[in-house]
Structure 1
Amino acid sequence: IIILFISLQKRETIKAYLPYFFIIFLLLLFLVPLIGTEVKGAKRWLDIPLLPRFQPIEILKPFFILILAQIISSQMIHNLYRKYFFTLVLLFAVLFLLAIQPDLGQSVLLFSSWLVMVFSSGINFVILAIFFLICVLIFVSILFFFPNKFGYILFRLKSFIDPTKGENYQSEKALEAIKNGGFTGRGLGEGVLKDRVPEAHTDYMFAVIAEEFGAILLLLLLIIFLFFSYKVLHKLLDEKDEYTKLVLVGLISLLLIQTFIHIGVNIRLLPTTGITLPFLSYGGSSIVGNAIMAGLILNLTKKIPLNQDTL
């Protein structure tokens, strides 16, 4: 329903209401550290009366991409580097709120998408590379000076680098499940990973699918997703409107990076992050956020009558 509703909206309508949705969910993200529900040492969810528990950042992500695209493509700000500065302010504001929760996975995801969008807008690569190195140095410094707050990151990195240190139960069981699934899988409901690993239906959905349905279905799903991404990227080559191009770049990069991180964690190429698998992992907030992104992509890639204004 969400996908269909958004895909049928006029583009100018989406652009007009964008700032309001962004501000609303940014404020909700601000409330998470104050009144959020703590689960396993992290405050990432809000419990609001009459509403199911939800994770604001999951729904904020598509609006974050839209607002970045609107700033970078704005005709009211002529200096390109001033535009980048404004996007940086928003980025660091969101990253700060995520750091308090803490939520490293979403932080990496948003920062990576910001880099892709800024790079695609035409910024000098050397300047972007220098900025990236500065951010890495700042990140390492924060880990060094605030070990009590961000020690869990170091713990995960050490556990990833040296499996003999720390707890690697979840990642080991996920890898074992993928191997046990083989080509055809054990069958629907026959997998054991979802009973052995907490949050397997979200953080380890790739491994759950591999165990129950096998490598053949996984390969089919990946082909479908890559074909979808290819069609969006192909649309980008013909797109003349800068705003539309930036939104599509941001959304598809967000989905691709998220998929890569999720799969990387499941096959032990990356440390644990808590990132879900787009469109497949169970979770209300994640499903809503993905539906919004899919609706926006369909809206921006459909053909528009000549008499309809574009963004």
Structure 2
Amino acid sequence: MTAGILAIDFGGTRTRVGWYSNVLELITREESLSHTEEPINAVIDRIIQLAQKVVPDCEVPSAIGICAPGPQAYTGYIRYAHTLPTWDNIPLAQRISAAFSNAPTFMENDANLAALAEYQFGAAQGADPALYLTVSTGIGGGAIIGGQLFTGWRGLAIEPGHIKFPAKDGKIYSLEALASGTGIGRLAWEKLAASNTPSSLRQIDTVDGKAVGEAAMQGDALALEVITEAGRWLGLGLVAMVHLFNPQVIVIGGSVVNLGELIFAPARQTLAELLIDPLFNHENLLKVAALGDDVCLTGAAIHAQKMLAS
């Protein structure tokens, strides 16, 4: 019997690990906090210890898939990851492979693997081209074109969070600064400082994206204004991507999707207003991600299987 696949989803906040059969059935999983504030070697040791809990005794994985942050994750090294600013040229894939008898190990960017998972098992099944956006603390993305993960010349393609826009104050902002959870918190702070509009947000110490979203869902007028503005900016980013890729579907995941139509309605309105041809648009162009918290874990298993076969 062929050994299974070890999948690891390493993020700045949480680490998830799973043992998959060779038909990509999840057999067992574990997760824990990543504690990335600790020394790097301690963090990697904790990932390995967590992974050892799901690998059956006396088995060596047929392959290991790792989902990791940073645009160059495909190299096996963590570089330029905004969520891990102190991790500079860290050979994560090599360290994990060595802990499991040098099993073949394949690492890739988290949003790319989420795109792969949603295409194979989630909301993008049967759609091609398919785009995936994660809108959470930041904004990332991935694309499936011709049934394959599209990563560009040097593996750096599909970074929608870094599309740039001029704002009313004359400054240039990234989409991430305007429509992510972090951006929503920033927009709220600016509106609170610039007006005397009554808002429940004035009663709390930490005005972040989560707090603004909760206030908006309770009908807070200022919070609703912020979410609508963020939705319009998100729509502008989507307009750019639709004009470039003409996707059949755009799947959106991440914590911001919990806002539902509060943020999707202005995004859809912006698409309808600004796309140059109505054929770019259709009723089901935007979909909410289907695979939940394990989307990157599943993507890591799929990626490992595909890379091993190739």
TM-score, normalization by structure 2: 0.25
Question: Which structure's residues are more often helix, by fraction?
Answer: 1
Question: Which structure's residues are more often strand, by fraction?
Answer: 2
